[in-house]
Amino acid sequence: MTQLTPPFAGAVRPLWAAAGVVSLATGSVGAVLPVLPTTPFMILGAFCFAKGAPRLAQRLEQHGIFGPMIAEWRAHRAIAPRVRVVAHLMMGAALVLSLVAGVSGPVLAVQMTCLLGASAYILSRPSGRPTLSEPGADTAPARSPRPSGASPSGVSAWSVPASRR
């Protein structure tokens, strides 16, 4: 049976690609400034590129720095311990910077609430590959040993199926 696609399906891919570019740019700014996190925006960029620009998704997934983070997130929904420490240090630096800059109390309250929420989320994620003692670890599918989630065909694991291109 042939799968029918909506008439606007071709117009959605550029929107996904644009969202990937915005996410990648935001993550790049976050790599320099302590105000923004980098990893979530890179993961979001990889997801968006997979929907709208599979070649860009593949390049991001094969990147020497961001590729392993994306692969670890995709495989285990985990945040590496080093990334956790850096994220918390950057959030702390952003808060200190706001205090030194004399940001008003209500703005500081909103910032602290957001930082606490981000911190709670980061700490709620596993810090590495699941062990057999963790729930669901015995039912996890086997993962490819290829770096950055690359497949033998070179197509991203998040790529749009051929029937939807």
From CA 99, how far away is CA 139, in angstroms rounded?
Answer: 47
Q: How confident is the model at residue 143 (pLDDT cuts 50, 70, 90)?
A: very low
pLDDT of residue 109 exceeding 90:
yes
3-state helix, strand, coil in the chain (%, to 5): 65, 0, 35
Among all chains, which residue has been given the structure tokens 């959605």?
12
Token pair in block for residue 20: 């990937």
Nearest by Cα to 129 from 83, 81, 67, 78:
78
pLDDT of residue 96: 92
The pTM assigned to this predicted structure is: 0.56
